[in-house]
Structure 1
Amino acid sequence: MSPSNPLSRPQPSKKAFTFIDLIDLADNFSLSSVSPNDTLVPFYLAPSRSSPVIGLLRPSIVAKLREEHESTQRHGGPAAWHFSSPFSTPDLFVSFASPTFTPAQRTAIMKNLCERWRDTGFQPNIIGPSKWRDELYPIYRDPFGAAYVKWDGWETRGEENWAFDMERSACALFGVVTYGVHMTVYREAVEGESEGVKIWVPTRAKTKPTWPGYLDNTVAGGITSGMSMFESIVKEAMEEASIEESIVRKYAKSVGGVSYFFMTSQGWLQPEVEYVYDLKIPAGVEFEPKPSDGEVECFELLSLDEVTSRMHAGLFKPNCAIVIIDFMIRHGHVTPDNEPDYMSILTRLHGRFEYDRWGMCSL
Structure 2
Amino acid sequence: MASPQHNLTFFDLVNLCDNVHLQRDQRGLFDLAFNNENLVPFYLTESTESPIIGLLRPDILESLKQENVRSQKNSSSVLWNLRLEDSEQSTLRQGFNGPWVSFRDWVDTPAKRTSALKELCERWRDTGLFPDVCGPTKWRSEMYPIYADPFGAHDYPSAEGRGNNLNYVFEMERSACALFGVVTYGVHMSVYDEKIEEDGLDSLHVWVPTRSFTKQTWPGYLDNTVAGGIPSGMSMHESMVKECMEEASLDPDLVRKYMRAVGSISYFIRTAAGWLQPEIEYVYDIRIPHDIDAQLFTPRPMDGEVESFEQVPHSKLLEQLRAGLFKPNCGLVIIDLFIRLGYITPDNEPDFMRIITKIHGRFDYEKW
TM norm structure 2: 0.89
Write the distance in 2 (CA, Å) between the matches of 1:111 and 1:199.
39
The answer on 1:114 being equivalent to 2:144 is: no
- 8 Å contact kept, 1:23–1:322: yes
> Does 2:225 correspond to 1:218?
yes
Query: Equivalent residue for 1:188?
Result: 194
Once residues 163 and 314 of structure 2 are traced to their aligned partners in structure 1, the CA distance between those partners, rounded to angstroms, is 39
Q: 1:190 to 1:157 in 2, by over 3 A?
A: farther
1:233 aligns with 2:240: yes
Corresponding residue for residue 16 of structure 1: 7
1:29-68 to 2 correspondences below 5 Å: 29-32=20-23, 33=32, 38-68=37-67
Q: Is the CA contact (8 Å cut-off) linking 2:211 and 2:306 kept in structure 1?
A: yes
| 1:142 and 2:141 matched | no
Q: Which whole-Å CA distance do the structure 2 matches of 1:209 and 1:241 have between them?
A: 19
Q: Partner of 1:40: helix, strand, or coil?
A: strand
Match of 1:174 in 2: 180
Q: Which residue of 1 aligns with 2:362?
A: 352
Show the counterpart of 1:4. none
Asked whether the 8 Å contact 1:125–1:131 carries over to 2, the reply is yes
C-alpha contact 1:46 1:99 (8 A) present in aligned 2: no
C-alpha displacement at 1:306, in angstroms? 1.1
Distance in 2 separating the partners of 1:139 and 1:18:
34
State how 1:202-351 maps to structure 2 within 5 Å.
Answer: 202-283=209-290, 284-285=292-293, 286-287=295-296, 288-351=298-361
Task: Report the residue type matching 1:162 in the other structure.
Answer: Y
Q: How many residues align?
A: 348
Q: Against the structure 1 CA distance between its residues 157 and 197, is the aligned structure 2 distance closer, same or farther, given a 3 Å change threshold?
A: farther
Q: CA shift at 1:158, angstroms?
A: 10
| Amino acid across the alignment from 2:289 | P
Secondary structure of 2:312's counterpart equals: strand
Alignment partner of 2:54: what SS? Answer: strand
- Calculate percent identity across the aligned residue pairs: 54
Deviation at 1:12, TM superposition (A): 2.0
**How far did 1:99 drift?**
6.2
SS at structure 2 position matched to 1:272? strand
Distance 1:160 1:260 in 2: 25
Tell me the TM-score normalised to structure 1 length: 0.91
CA 84–191 in structure 1, closer or farther in 2 if over 3 Å, else same: closer
Question: Structure 2: how far apart are the matches of 1:34 and 1:26?
Answer: 13
Q: Is this contact kept in 2: 1:43–1:53, CA < 8 A? A: yes
Structure 1 unaligned regions, length at least 5: 1-8, 359-363
The one-letter amino acid paired with 1:184 is S
Unpaired runs of 5+ residues, structure 2, are: 24-31, 91-96
The amino acid of 1:71's aligned partner reads R
What displacement does 1:36 show?
6.9
Alpha carbons of structure 1 residues 108 and 150: separation in structure 2 relative to 1, 3 Å:
closer
Cα pair distance change 1:258/1:35, threshold 3 Å: closer
**Retained in 1: the 8 A contact 2:110–2:163?**
no
Cα distance change of structure 1 residues 76 and 310 upon mapping to structure 2, 3 Å threshold: same
